[in-house]
Amino acid sequence: MTMLDRMRRHKAWLKWTLALAGFALLVLGFPLLQQPPPTTGAVTDVLAQVGDQEITVGEFQTLYRRQLQSYQVQSGGEITSEILRSMGIDRQLLQQVIDEYAALQEATRLGVTVSDAEVRETIVSLPAFQQNGQFIGEAAYLQMLRMQQPPMTPAEFEENVRRSLMLQRLQAAVTDWITVSDVDVEQEHVRRNERVRLGALAFRADDFRGDLEATDDDVAALFEQNANDYLVPEKRRLRFVLIDVPALKASFTPSDAEIQSYYDNNLDRYTEEVSLRVSHVLLRTQDRELADVQAQAESIVAEARNGADFAELARRHSEDEGTREAGGDLGPIARGQMVPEFEGAAFALEQDEVSDPVTSMFGVHVIKATEKTGGTTQTLEEVRAGIVDLLQQESADARAGALAEAMAAEITGAGDLAAAAARRGLEAQESGFAALGEPILGLGFSSEVTAQAFQLEEGEVAGPIRTPTGPAFVTVTGIQAPYVPPLEEVEPRVRDDVIRRKAFVMAQERADAVAALLQDADDFSAAAEAEDLVVQESGLIARGAVLPGVGVNAQVEEVAFSMDPGETSDPILTGNSAMIVHVLERQDADPADLRANRERLRSEMVLERQNQFFAAYMQNAKTRIPIDIDLGAFAQATA
């Protein structure tokens, strides 16, 4: 392993702490909880109460921001907090944190403990804290903790390790009894590895609609038999006040001073990332006086600056076994890959410049920038339009938030809504009647609005509620009870359903006739072609694959894998089609492969069953633990 590999791994060593939580990651996807730095004010508000444990706004914000940063790194900056919220990641993360707290309380209830000695033994055995198979030492361990963003204390890190070990031990206590028999392994091997090649015929109801008609008698009969299928659900009419964020955005023009200030304070956003390749000479300090090592490094610097071949200097002097023969070449490096002392010195160099001696936890380095590009900054005029748009959006969001907060303090009932709006130049509006999940006239589609509106009593007010246009306050002004409409109101729907049912019957009848013919045929494809039918064929496919003519379908798959080569199925009804499948070829699972992989497969099956059992166990355990979530604090934490 090269020195560069070690530097990169040490910079990202927190990944190893995640690997500790086998339970957390493999079963429920829990992140390790990091204790947030001391905070004051609103961030200390309790977001959720899990038994006797509290999750604060500040603690959740720390986790949420780390998750956002992780997604941004993976996506090249394309993921925003708004996208995360739209995907429900914020709620998933909160649920994971709650689940971990619940699991820790269940572990405590069962008497699961982890000693200080066990925590210490785990830490010193982590690959991130080892070099040449040995613990790197207390000083290096503490330095690596300080290198984290934000820095961590030993007590915080060791508590995280203790929690992780408790979660592992809890899962083991609950699930270690689970086993998998040889018969189960063999059946699973067959299920995963047998293959079939199919020919398929699809008889779709839509292909039989043609000139089908629905008589008035047909329509009346179907409606009489299935009137509840046409039930009109409960609908509600709302009075609402919308704080229109786009309008607020359009009304604000930032000053030149504000634009300049934003540009000056965010130059890194408009600066092209530096591309850097470096070489180095490493002199280790172990068993040597630091002053002597630094003196040798200064001598190498002088030689390099006087024109000596840097690669040759590295071959003669460097003690980095991984790069010495390559002339000290570390390859391209990016910010965040190297320890801070090395990174700071390297990125400060110009093309072909040689650094002064640099001391890090690995020794003393002499660094040369062999290739350097980038680092250019866009001018203010080039990015002005984007900054204006961003400042307008920030202003609109801030003004909308302040308006919503002020209105919420004044509104206690429906009678306060119009007055609170008028004082701010806003107007209360009326929607038409809308059912749960339907768009609301004036508000568009907002699942949060409709969800809350259908929980309100008339006269109650909910808000502020997030909508696509901005925060809104709503109250219910009318409730239309569900009802079965008269036939005249839904006659087109009923008539179409009559035709659809008739077409499906025709598809089934045609499939029955063709199946009887093909099941007696010597050549499936030829017999189908004689009936002017087109057979769709697959390659050799396993379970879960896309089936010809129908896609992924468990019902058709079950029939296909139950037949022998040359067999043709009866019609299989799949929603709006009737399918006939013919097995052209069957490839059985390889017994030799089972012999070679039996224990690996058994381990996978045991883990899967343990995960399923433990998830069910924890779901039951949580019914004994009071859990309360403050949705207002949650909105604050993810804002």
Q: Is the pLDDT of residue 523 over 50?
A: yes
467 and 448 in contact (C-beta within 8 Å)?
yes
pTM: 0.58
User: What is the CATH architecture of 272-373?
Assistant: Roll (3.10)
Predicted local distance difference test score (pLDDT) of residue 4: 37
Predicted local distance difference test score (pLDDT) of residue 71: 75
Diameter of the chain measured on Cα atoms: 105
Q: Which of 64-78, 79-93, 262-276, 508-522 has the lowest mean pLDDT?
A: 64-78
CATH number of 195-232+487-587: 3.10.50
Q: Do domains 195-232+487-587 and 272-373 have the same CATH topology?
A: yes
User: What is the CATH architecture of 3-177+624-638?
Assistant: Orthogonal Bundle (1.10)
In the chain, where are the structural domains located? 3-177+624-638, 195-232+487-587, 235-244+399-480, 272-373
414-445, pLDDT tens digit by residue? 888 888 989 989 999 998 898 888 888 888 77
CA distance 278 to 328: 8
208 and 507 in contact (C-beta within 8 Å)?
yes
> Which option is the CATH number for 235-244+399-480: 3.30.420, 3.10.50, 2.40.50, 1.10.10?
3.10.50
DSSP-assigned beta bridge partners for residue 572: 579
362-409, pLDDT tens digit by residue? 889 999 999 988 888 889 999 999 999 999 998 998 899 889 889 988
What is the percent of the chain where pLDDT is above 70? 90
Beta strands 536-537 and 130-131 are unpaired
What is the percent of the chain where pLDDT is above 90? 52
Predicted local distance difference test score (pLDDT) of residue 609: 95
Q: What is the dihedral of CA 624, 625, 630, 631, to 10 degrees?
A: -60
Residues 6+ apart with CB under 8 A from 30: 21, 23, 24, 96, 97, 99, 100, 103, 167
Predicted local distance difference test score (pLDDT) of residue 268: 81
Distances (CA, A) of 575 to 187, 203, 210, 456, 578: 30, 11, 19, 38, 8
User: In the predicted model, what is the mean pLDDT of residues 492-502?
Assistant: 94
User: In the predicted model, what is the mean pLDDT of residues 169-186?
Assistant: 94
Q: Is the pLDDT of residue 595 over 80?
A: yes
Q: Is the pLDDT of residue 40 over 60?
A: no
507 and 501 in contact (C-beta within 8 Å)?
no
CA distance 176 to 247: 60
Output the 3-class SS for 101-143.
HHHHHHHHHCCCCCCHHHHHHHHHHCHHHEECCEECCHHHHHH
Distances (CA, A) of 395 to 391, 399, 409, 468: 6, 6, 21, 17
In the predicted model, what is the mean pLDDT of the chain?
85
Which tokens is 103 given? 């699991």
Q: Is the pLDDT of residue 618 over 70?
A: yes
